[in-house]
Amino acid sequence: TSFRDGRPSCRMVLLKSYDEDGFVFNTNYTSRKGTQLSGNPNAAMLFYWPRFHRQIRVEGVVDRLAEDAAIAHWNSRPVSSRIAGIASAQSTVIPDRQYLEHRQRELEQEVTTQGEVAAAKPPTWGALILRPRYFEFWQGQTNRLHDRICFSTERPDTDSADFVRPSDRPGWHMFRLA
């Protein structure tokens, strides 16, 4: 993500699912990540496997999923994770760690007395999907002559059309980078 002024911001996210439409993750819409994506929906993801010297970079646009999908994602989480999601007003300043722990205990008690209804999805929490426009598959080499294969919905800026090939998927271009 990035701030409105263009400064980049990154963090790890838990990938909930993926399919041909994109990569689904969850967030609090009022968190730093949520507000940044509201201001600029362009985002990137990175999957890195150091043991294999491989990574996949994905760039695209993030959209909110429908509320029923967000509820399904929320309800698939363990109750303890739902409690944590409610207890933590993500990215807000708090006095200390004990504040969160106290709030967690309060919510655990509410769930004990009221049932799982006390851990219902808050309106500020939802599911997002990054819809890819660009993939870069990187294979690291010991001699530093890395292999980079890209797929993009936009044609790369190059004078040589011979270097860009259509991919098997309509609307996508395949090319290599140095």
How many residues make up the chain in this entry?
A: 178
- Active-site positions read 144
Q: Beta partners for 106? A: none
Q: Give CA–CA dist 29/11, Å, rounded.
A: 15
Q: Beta partners for 129? A: 24, 63
Q: What would you report as the CA-atom Rg of the chain, rounded to the nearest whole angstrom?
A: 20
157 Cβ partners below 8 Å, 6+ apart? none
Q: Is 135 left (phi over 0), alpha (psi -120 to 50) or beta?
A: beta
Secondary structure letter of residue 50 according to DSSP: G
Q: Is 116 left (phi over 0), alpha (psi -120 to 50) or beta?
A: alpha
